[in-house]
A and B are shown apart, each in its own frame.
Chain A
Amino acid sequence: MFDFLEGYDLLGAFWVTVQLTVFSGIGALVWGTILAAMRVSPVPLMRGFGAAYVNLVRNTPLTVIIVFTSLGLADIFSVTLGAGGDFETQNFRLAVLGLAAYTAAFVCEAVRSGINTVPVGQAEAARAIGLSFTQVLTNIVLPQAFRSVIGPLANVLIALTKNTTVAAAIGVGEAALLMKEMIETEAQLLLIAVIFALGFMLLTLPTGLVLGWFSKRLAVKR
């Protein structure tokens, strides 16, 4: 029944999906946090940039962003991200860049709503002992903000895992590209769909469960 799977590197394709998720997830978390810091900063220019970025990026279809990294960044502006002519590596890196840039907008908004759950007195007390804006943010506000948005961040991460399928649009050999290839050549369409759906669930279900557990464990008691 599963004979048709022979000759396809199913695990390899999902491994690329995992890599896309991990690298762009880390990128999105870092960049999204910086954006959130900008959005609450006392400097109007930073607040403006943060707001403009989030509203531009989260309202642009991901496919457009991913295709732009390839056709725009790489082909027009010759941004190759150090791939040196290796198109497979180049497209993978461009996809990570696009996914991270896109997901960061959602991370930013999740973190920002977390910042709003931290009572204003916490920041006041921190300022009162002489901490600078950055110190208040990194020592007091963000640690508490993150703990309250682990749940929403899990949603973002799960969405990111599934969004990596868009990387197929620029030829990154991840799970969705393999699925497309198999659908074109094999007859067992339903079975193929089920296999890939299960594959993604295998990745995302534990993410949700583990982060849900952390969310309860790390909740700040007031």
Chain B
Amino acid sequence: MTDVSATKDAVPATDELVVLKNVNKHFGALHVLQDIDLTIARGEVVVVIGPSGSGKSTLCRAINRLESIDSGSISLDGKPLPAEGRELARLRADVGMVFQSFNLFAHKTVLENVTLGQVKVRKKDKAAAEETARALLDRVGVANQADKYPAQLSGGQQQRVAIARALAMEPKVMLFDEPTSALDPEMINEVLEVMQQLARDGMTMVVVTHEMGFARSAANRVVFMADGQIVEETTPDQFFTNPRSDRAKDFLSKILHH
């Protein structure tokens, strides 16, 4: 863990990749995101934790505009998020997203899942896309499943394919929306290991998770959310050993003593 953070510290912290300013969002009467300010530097791994309904998934989904926001601004690599259309699609290609329920394309094989975006969005030719796809599938450890359909794979394998699918777009930042929450316990580690490796390789990551072990070992920063607000934002060590807010203390006491 120490050598992980050592390599992380070498990354220049000034290079801002994702910037959220004063972001607000309502679901009807519910104010799910309240004046959110968050800056994510290139190469940084930010873990977002918090109780259910705190708005952490919404925050994650707002970054590639799967959720629209009511006010405020979100910019990626200096460019503000476009509202709709081609521009938005182009931007989304630069933001990798991994979902809780995997969402692999059910009618396509594993290999096709990973090549589709490369061919349709990046306009690569099929052979090159397949080569990249096979290399990525090998990297996440499911190379031998390339010709199967998603339903034939275990949850852990599906999620690793989903990571490969996102990586195939060569994204600037990867968003993980509770990537291990739908997994059987024994499959959680195989996914977390892939994510650890990604973090070590310097990928910028925003991870919404309940895996405190991952937060401790891989995160540069922990963002604690409750009731639509960022309550605390600090290093994992600080957060887990010495949380400042009562809300965080309460949350940690509930999850750590089992």
Complex formed: what's the CA distance from A221 to B116 in Å?
A: 19
B56 at the interface (CB under 8 A from A): no
> What A residues does B151 contact at CB under 8 A?
221-222
Within the complex, the shortest CB–CB distance from B84 to chain A, in Å, comes to 8
| Secondary structure type dominating chain A contacts | helix
B70 to nearest A CB, angstroms? 18
Which of A122, A126, A127, A132 meets B86, CB within 8 Å? Answer: A132
For the complex formed, measure the closest distance between the CB of B49 and the CB atoms of chain A, giving whole angstroms: 22
**How many B residues, CB 8 Å from partner?**
32
Question: For the complex, is B128 an interface residue (Cβ under 8 Å from A)?
Answer: no
- A125 close to B105 (CB less than 8 A): yes
Tell yes or no: B95 within 8 A of A by CB: yes
Decide if A147 touches B107 in the complex (CB within 8 Å).
yes
Does residue B240 face the partner (Cβ distance < 8 Å to A)?
Answer: no
Kindly identify, within residues 120 to 149 of chain A, every residue whose CB is under 8 Å from any CB belonging to chain B.
Answer: 121-122, 124-132, 135, 139-140, 143-144, 147
- Give the residues in chain B near A135, CB-CB below 8 Å: 120-121
Q: Report whether A131 and B106 are in contact in the complex, using a CB–CB cutoff of 8 Å.
A: no
A130 touches B106 (CB 8 A): no
- Report the Cα distance A147→B105, complex, angstroms: 14
Shortest Cβ gap from B216 to chain A (Å): 28
Proximity bits, B137-173, A CB within 8 Å = 1, else 0:
0000000000001011000000000100110010000
Q: Does A11 contact B (CB under 8 A)?
A: no
- The stretch that binds A, out of B96-104, B220-228, B229-237, is B96-104
**Could you list some 6 contacts between A and B, CB below 8 A?**
A42-B84, A128-B64, A128-B166, A129-B93, A129-B116, A139-B116
| A residues with CB within 8 A of B | 42, 119, 121-122, 124-132, 135, 139-140, 143-144, 147, 220-222
Binding site for A on B (CB under 8 A): 64, 66, 84-86, 89-97, 99, 101, 103-107, 116-117, 120-121, 149, 151-152, 162, 165-166, 169
